[in-house]
Structure 1
């Protein structure tokens, strides 16, 4: 955007410089023309000069016309009735009455008008020629209207002035009077001389907002141009320099495409790199989660380990205290497991531990239930929102599932691997904290073992024991 603004600023500056040069040249040439007119007016108001023979009077009135621009077609002195009385192109004035011309009537009706520049007019004296008429009033000694001195200024001057200007494809220059009447369009696009721009969108925007430069769309050909306006206050003219926007922003457009493509490639590269980084981060998160799980999962049985059990049990304990709902804990111990290891070997023992752990896990699958390996052949199951009766049902299901494994154990009085279970609940009087819950349940396991194993022992609310099979 900054580059586009810079391109606009450069184009506006170039257009303003060109407009200043055009204004200077036109103003200077107009001043020379006016000097010739003013000299003729001074002579026409001198009675002695006007009594001279025609050829002397002509030379005296128009002797300065040679110093004016070569584009002055003719200088005329008219009387109060519009008749030519002195003609710079002929000793004998042409017999044409011009009293109906605007430049004549305006001086007749406005004594203090000064220099007047007409609209472009088809010359009545030189058919086919279009001129701007520069004129001044001539007065009698008493101030009354005596006639007009007028100079016909050919439009070829403006064409030649602008002929070397290069605005690029689609650009144009318009010279017009401040009321909107066109003097000249360059290059010629068919706009007729004296066409009025008053009411056109871009011209009215300049007149109403006083913006001297802006981007606008031509109402004639629909092209976007950078319009630059400059007013010639002395001559009441306006020049509009309007290069095509495509030409003004050609270099910027190519740079913008280059920058845009490079930026797009950088963005794509960054997105690709970000995607790779995202994949790497996701992979790291997975690995980290796996590592965290490894630190909280028992590697042999797949149940939660002791560390995870402690954290979850503490959480559920506080939750139970806040909600007032019961919390039950099962302490599960495999019967005669040392004998099993001694008889069948440690590998068979590991397999048996895994099988029992899965049986326990299958019967504690509610959301919030926690099955964990406490250590060795001991397991703990935490049952949130569960009272003693419901916990006994879960314990019975675990007994059945373990017996259903039918793992041979000749060192056990039951012939297969079995478990002893101790159950404790938060309504037990001895339980005052989470660790107390484990302690009470562990004591209940010892009672179950003492009663013959393969049993569940319930820790009663008042410290008693009930042994069930």
Structure 2
């Protein structure tokens, strides 16, 4: 009996250590996945903002080029400047980020401003951008440091260009000023948490725009920051984690150096905030693990006390095992469901599509795929808010579930506002019939959407069908459906489009 007790204690110790080790490993792995997701999110956001800033700079440079050509061709007479001011005002109305367009003569005196009359004795001869062009014969656009506008008092970024006399000598400067406030308004719409930050700097680290805005940061040089002192020497784009030199907060950074202009876009999330959800999950996991260990200890004690009733104890263990298997099966069901819509999730979709492709090729039966995108969903969220957007997706998901009822069919949330339907043993005509039924019922449901030209929630559907006896990869089938969806959206939305064929399929 003592031997059995020692074996039971040893078994309990091994189980306890295993549970503890497995829990610790899972917590560490979950933390790494959370950080990796945050890094990826930051990189994608940095790419988008870099493209946005590059577009504005490019438009400003093209505007400067056009103004310079007019000045060099027509001169700076009163009539020419008046026509130029009207043109500048028109261009200013087309580019919302534009604060003003100003023309200076060779001495820095203002000749024309798009914001109205030139202030008396206005001069910018002391501005760094003017000095740069005066002393540098290059006609390339120059991105200047942030300054306070002398006409409006607002913080602006200057994009400037030199224009010349007919003999090539310096005639003056044209500057486009971009309002810092306009950038801050855009950055403020992005959810980066309480301690997050978005910045646009020059390659030498001078701050042009930083959100959240602080007066003391304008024009500050961050050349000693790790991104500028180390990372940018080896990579155009990357991630890092360190304490900010501005406020000391540890953040997760993603940075991207622009390929055309000497600019760097950075996006940062507070590391504590990025790990907040992981901490909450970790606490729950630790609680469950502790509860499981407590259950194991109690069961072990009962085993030791009732060692002579081995058969009864084994019965209890079998029952506990069945309960655990049942819980695992329930967890598997939950893991395959999208928590918002109740449809299958992306992972379940990928697994089913692969298995249905194999079966269709093995049994030489057709297979169809629908990709469904809710039209103008961003406008819906902007108009009614994200909770209402979630309700909209739930309604559309329920509509799909009501219209796709065959036991072998699968409805899933593919991602965001995109849904998907797998239709085994269904050809193109059958898939189109299902898609038309979905569109018709969605239209009849009359879910109000004032941001849509249709006045109600609609969807676009892309269809790809694999004929019987054909072979193609899941990626090819998805790509064909996605291209069909793109065509449906490009054709005006609230419609379906069927792919003419699946690339790579063979009869």
Higher relative contact order (CA 8 A, sep 6+): 2
Shift of 1:161: 1.4
Q: 1:93 to 1:139 in 2, by over 3 A?
A: farther
Report the secondary structure of 1:229's partner residue. strand
Shift of 1:63: 6.4
Q: 1:168 to 1:92 in 2, by over 3 A?
A: closer
| 1:234 alignment partner in structure 2 | 260
Q: 1:163 to 1:62 in 2, by over 3 A?
A: same
Report the secondary structure of 2:217's partner residue. coil
Question: What is the 5 A alignment of 1:340-419?
Answer: none
Q: 1:152 to 1:22 in 2, by over 3 A?
A: same
Distance 2:135 2:81 in 1: 31
Distance 1:90 1:19 in 2: 36
| 1:215 alignment partner in structure 2 | 241
Whether the aligned pair in 1 keeps the contact of 2:97 and 2:183 (CA below 8 Å) is no
| 1:258 alignment partner in structure 2 | 284
Shift of 1:91: 5.5
Distance 1:115 1:100 in 2: 19
Report the secondary structure of 1:215's partner residue. strand
Q: 1:173 to 1:66 in 2, by over 3 A?
A: closer
Distance 2:245 2:221 in 1: 13
Given candidates 144, 152, 156, the residue that maps to 2:169 is 144
Distance 2:280 2:169 in 1: 67
| 1:133 alignment partner in structure 2 | 158
Q: 1:171 to 1:79 in 2, by over 3 A?
A: same
Whether the aligned pair in 2 keeps the contact of 1:58 and 1:87 (CA below 8 Å) is no
Whether the aligned pair in 2 keeps the contact of 1:202 and 1:216 (CA below 8 Å) is no
- Per-residue displacement from partner, 1:229-254 (whole Å, max 9, x unpaired)? 12223232222211111221222222
- Per-residue displacement from partner, 1:381-425 (whole Å, max 9, x unpaired)? xxxxxxxxxxxxxxxxxxxxxxxxxxxxxxxxxxxxxxxxxxxxx
Question: What is the 5 A alignment of 1:297-316?
Answer: none
Q: 1:157 to 1:256 in 2, by over 3 A?
A: same
Given candidates 23, 30, 42, the residue that maps to 2:50 is 23
Whether the aligned pair in 2 keeps the contact of 1:175 and 1:182 (CA below 8 Å) is yes
Q: Which runs of 5+ in 2 are unaligned?
A: 1-27, 308-507
Asked whether 1:106 is paired with 2:132, we answer: yes
Whether the aligned pair in 1 keeps the contact of 2:160 and 2:173 (CA below 8 Å) is yes
Whether the aligned pair in 2 keeps the contact of 1:108 and 1:147 (CA below 8 Å) is yes
Distance 2:244 2:57 in 1: 30
Whether the aligned pair in 2 keeps the contact of 1:55 and 1:91 (CA below 8 Å) is no
- Structure with more of its chain in helix, by fraction: 2
Given candidates 181, 196, 204, the residue that maps to 1:171 is 196
Report the secondary structure of 1:17's partner residue. helix
- Per-residue displacement from partner, 1:102-127 (whole Å, max 9, x unpaired)? 1112112222250101000122333x
Question: What is the 5 A alignment of 1:69-108?
Answer: 69-90=95-116, 94-108=120-134
Distance 1:23 1:185 in 2: 14
Distance 2:247 2:105 in 1: 47
Asked whether 1:153 is paired with 2:178, we answer: yes
Shift of 1:15: 1.5
Q: 1:263 to 1:182 in 2, by over 3 A?
A: same
- Per-residue displacement from partner, 1:354-387 (whole Å, max 9, x unpaired)? xxxxxxxxxxxxxxxxxxxxxxxxxxxxxxxxxx
**TM-score normalised by length of structure 1:** 0.53
| 2:275 alignment partner in structure 1 | 249
Distance 2:248 2:78 in 1: 60
